[in-house]
Structure 1
Amino acid sequence: MNISTSVWLTLAVAVVAAVAAAVVGELVALGVRRLGRNHEILATLAQRGRRPLAGFMATLAAQWALKIYSQTADWQQPTFFALTLLTVAFGAWLAVVAANVVQDVLLLRYRIDVKDNRRQRQRRTQVQLVKRVAVALIIVVAVASMLLTIPGARGAGASVLASAGLLSVVAGLAAQTSLANIFAGLQIAFTDGIRVDDVVVVEEEWGNIEDITLTYVVVKLWDQRRLILPSTYFTTTPFANWTRNSSDIIGSVDFDVDWTVPFDEVRSHAEAFVKDHPLWNGQTYALQVTDARNSFVSFRVLVSADSGGELFDLRCAVREELVALLRREHPGALPKVRMDTPRAVHIPQQDGHRATRTVTG
């Protein structure tokens, strides 16, 4: 058998081994999916990790098959180099898939579409940030492993380590802001300052925390805009968190009316309306007279709901209902401005003459 024939035979064996390993990987994923019907994490991992597992096993099998060719050839080094890179890439892909699957399964356990979701929102925030850190570490390790397979990389690494002191100072100054945001993101995740879906007021804007990353936080505003702030903002700047201790939110509806308003009737009507409204969460309701000055009497209605959007709709509904009540049943209680009309007063004098002075009253 000549050299050319043995080379082609070796390559054919490597291809067959790679195909066989890929098929074995597909069968392993299929078996795990069937065995994990009652375990969601196994079923999801088998479904998403099917392709990277098949690729990882195929590249390993191809490398082992090519080692049977014991002679020296020009094609060996670049072929093994490419297969090594593919093996590392498929392994990193499989690890990233595993991290994403674990995150998805954990997020299903911590649902935020429940009445009191404060603890669930805290856990979701932590899980998402930990997953992002894990994926970043996997990618860094994979890229470093690929670079180490390049001939001469270790020698170059020694020269880099020799100047590590100067490089660390330069890198530290250049990445100071980025590192501060990364540490701030970790601090946010594990100190429970804010959580995903928290209702906050930042930069005089009302919104919900939509996403928390290692470097920035996305706030979804009430008008569907997104306010993107660096993580350090929430560790250095005061802000209002309306759902820090509980998920329900309290809001007020303010009115200015005339002094003749019948508060007993308005109070009973408002209470019945709020307690029958589907957006009220049953936590807070009150009607209070807050001020009485000049031509107006001010009162407010306090209500609570489970989210910022529901609270806004509930406040609008209460406002519309009470305005309609006053217009329909008590039009005299609508606000009006009172003004005193000037009148002339005659003041007798001792010499028999009378002086006239204009007064109000």
Structure 2
Amino acid sequence: MSEAWMGVLSAGVVAVAVFGVFLVLEYLLRRGFRRLGRRSALLAGLVEHTSRPLRCFGAVLILRLTVFVALPPTGWTGPVTHAMTLALIGSGAWLLAGVLLSAEQTALSRLRVDERDNRHARRVQTQITLVRRVTVAGVAVLALAAMLMTFPGARAAGTSLLASAGVIGAIAALAAQSLLGNVFAGLQIAFSDAIRLDDVVIVEGEWGRIEDITLTYLVVHIWDDRRLVIPTSHFMSNPFENWTRREAALLGTVEIDVDWAMPVEEMRTELRSVLDATDLWDGRVCVLQVTDAVNTLVRVRALVSAVDAPTLFDLRCLVRERLVAWARTRHPYALPRLRSERVPTGPRPAPAAATEPTEDARLFGDSPDGREREHAFTGPDRS
């Protein structure tokens, strides 16, 4: 066997031995972190998200040092060294992304989003999630740029591109206008507190919860398990309803059309009885008012309150059902109805002689104030 192959074999044995020692140390370190992770969420997250990238990074680093130190420079060591350098940059970026993900999960684990009043926690959760995505995307871009800069041709191209950075920047801005608009809208969502994860919203005529927020789009989990995906720029440039921006408690209405004969005070008492008998009502608002009384019907509106939007929907349905049943059983004569009048078909009486309208039939009345206003609107008397 030639001396060159003996050198390669010996270098390989040394690399395997060093990598074995590295795996033993990594295993002991991981076991220690897992024990400490019972009391530290950060260490537990590091063990979960950095074990594989750390092993990959260590293996590539050991091989890279072995080729650089133990092997003499030959025709094939150059491409192999370059490939290992690219793998080292990629595994290092993977390891850094794992560290960022561990830090994010540690911060999120301290937030209590399962409470009733979790507005602040959801705001911080949205900000941490979007910032982590920005930083991971930045790490990926920097790693790709570092890989490209290892090629001599890419370095020369980068130098020439820097000379015309203004033109390239203008062209890139025009080409990526929509993408950059969505990215800036995502950052605006993260820090403007206009919307957070798990907020109840009505957007595009659909009712649902904010399930996910990225730099370019939002996902709304609609009540019937559909998902509505909306670009962030479109979301921020169009109006939407946020039912839980300040608090989860809401007010809701139930409108019922009844006949003029309905005893409203008894209906108000029945509404109070319905609300007192259910756990869906939070005890804040119980109001029943007549909001319209024209033509043949009277519109009655019940205003109720609940702790959150799903509970409010169930409460409105319950109130509507109980009031309809109460009106049908207790006051069937006051249900909505249409009235008609039979007109006699005999000879019509002669029309009454025209008489001067009384003062109560005039527009402004026959008082001094009424005559003054009539003069102001009709002008001076020309007779």
TM-score bracket for this pair, using the shorter chain length: 0.7 to 0.9
* Residue 186 of structure 2 corresponds to residue 188 of structure 1: no
**1:347 CA drift (Å):** 7.5
State how far apart, in whole Å, the 1-side matches of 2:66 and 2:72 are. Answer: 14
| Aligned residue identity for 1:213 | T
Is the Cα–Cα contact under 8 Å of residues 21 and 61 in structure 1 kept in the other structure?
A: no
Distance 1:296 1:216, change over 3 A: same
| Aligned residue identity for 1:178 | L
My pick for the range that moved more, 166-175 or 149-158, is: 149-158
| Aligned residue identity for 1:22 | L
SS of residue paired to 2:74:
coil
Distance 1:110 1:339, change over 3 A: farther
* Residue 73 of structure 2 corresponds to residue 75 of structure 1: no
Distance 1:162 1:215, change over 3 A: same
**1:348 CA drift (Å):** 7.4
Q: Name stretches of at least 5 consecutive residues in structure 2 with no aligned partner.
A: 351-383
Q: Over residues 48-96 of structure 1, what are the superposed CA-to-partner deviations in whole Å (9 max), with x where a residue is unaligned?
A: 2211112222222232333332522233222322322222222222222
Is the Cα–Cα contact under 8 Å of residues 254 and 301 in structure 1 kept in the other structure?
A: yes
Distance 1:195 1:282, change over 3 A: farther
Percent identical residues: 46
Is the Cα–Cα contact under 8 Å of residues 248 and 307 in structure 1 kept in the other structure?
A: yes
**Structure-2 residue corresponding to 1:156:** 157
* Residue 230 of structure 2 corresponds to residue 229 of structure 1: yes
**Structure-1 residue corresponding to 2:298:** 297
Is the Cα–Cα contact under 8 Å of residues 33 and 42 in structure 1 kept in the other structure?
A: yes
Distance 1:69 1:322, change over 3 A: same
Distance 1:331 1:76, change over 3 A: same
Structure that is richer in strand per residue:
1
Q: Over residues 149-201 of structure 1, what are the superposed CA-to-partner deviations in whole Å (9 max), with x where a residue is unaligned?
A: 23443223212222323221211110112111111111121111122222223
**Structure-2 residue corresponding to 1:97:** 98
State how far apart, in whole Å, the 2-side matches of 1:282 and 1:111 are. Answer: 26
State how far apart, in whole Å, the 2-side matches of 1:120 and 1:94 are. Answer: 28
**Structure-2 residue corresponding to 1:12:** 13
State how far apart, in whole Å, the 2-side matches of 1:199 and 1:239 are. Answer: 11
**1:100 CA drift (Å):** 2.1
**Structure-1 residue corresponding to 2:115:** 114
Q: Normalising by structure 1, report the TM-score.
A: 0.88
Larger Rg: 2
Q: Normalising by structure 2, report the TM-score.
A: 0.83
Distance 1:338 1:104, change over 3 A: farther
**Structure-2 residue corresponding to 1:247:** 248
**Structure-2 residue corresponding to 1:27:** 28
What is the count of residue pairs matched by the alignment?
349
Is the Cα–Cα contact under 8 Å of residues 21 and 57 in structure 1 kept in the other structure?
A: yes
SS of residue paired to 1:49:
helix
Distance 1:109 1:193, change over 3 A: same
State how far apart, in whole Å, the 2-side matches of 1:124 and 1:294 are. Answer: 53
**Structure-2 residue corresponding to 1:265:** 266
State how far apart, in whole Å, the 1-side matches of 2:58 and 2:332 are. Answer: 81
State how far apart, in whole Å, the 1-side matches of 2:78 and 2:250 are. Answer: 65
State how far apart, in whole Å, the 2-side matches of 1:77 and 1:274 are. Answer: 80
**Structure-2 residue corresponding to 1:359:** none
Distance 1:127 1:342, change over 3 A: same
Q: Name stretches of at least 5 consecutive residues in structure 1 with no aligned partner.
A: 350-361
State how far apart, in whole Å, the 2-side matches of 1:63 and 1:313 are. Answer: 65
Is the Cα–Cα contact under 8 Å of residues 26 and 50 in structure 1 kept in the other structure?
A: no
State how far apart, in whole Å, the 2-side matches of 1:107 and 1:301 are. Answer: 41
Is the Cα–Cα contact under 8 Å of residues 243 and 309 in structure 2 kept in the other structure?
A: no
State how far apart, in whole Å, the 1-side matches of 2:277 and 2:145 are. Answer: 62
**Structure-2 residue corresponding to 1:216:** 217
